């Protein structure tokens, strides 16, 4: 089984596209603080498949992260930061295998 994270990202322009974060800030700021700073809502997904690690989507000009329940903290942290980087346009190295990002 391959685990992966899917990142359905709206092509609409939002305030998030205008935020400028350095890779260092994105990776080093404690996740709860980063989510508050960006006004991002982190919800638990109803998807329990271990191959699903998370999704990011924009709705009504708000950014939401949806993460799998029971996910290890380290995985949740890494995937959340990768998804945020992708949505906001912060250049980051790709996630290691077996993870992959895809847009729907």
- 43-92 pLDDT per residue, tens: 999 999 998 999 999 888 889 999 999 999 999 999 999 999 999 899 99
Mean pLDDT computed over 85-103: 86
Phi (first) and psi of residue 37, to 5 degrees:
-60, -40
Determine the 3-state secondary structure of 12 from DSSP.
coil
What is the number of other CB atoms lying within 10 angstroms of the CB of residue 17? 13
Query: Which two tokens mark 14?
Result: 């939002």
SS3 41: strand
The string of pLDDT tens digits covering residues 1-52 is 334 444 444 444 355 545 678 999 999 999 999 999 999 999 999 999 998 9
Domain residue ranges of the chain, discontinuous segments joined by +? 15-88
Domain spanning 15-88: which CATH class is it, in words?
alpha beta
């Amino acid at each position: 089984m391959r685990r992966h994270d899917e990142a359905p990202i709206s092509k609409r322009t939002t305030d998030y596209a205008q935020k400028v974060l350095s890779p260092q800030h994105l990776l080093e700021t404690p996740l709860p603080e980063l989510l508050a700073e960006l006004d991002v809502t982190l919800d638990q997904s109803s998807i329990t498949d271990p191959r699903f690690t998370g999704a990011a989507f924009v709705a009504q000009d708000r950014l939401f992260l949806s993460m799998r329940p029971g996910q290890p903290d380290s995985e949740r942290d890494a995937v959340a930061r990768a998804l945020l980087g992708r949505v906001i346009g912060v250049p980051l190295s790709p996630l290691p295998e077996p993870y992959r990002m895809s847009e729907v």
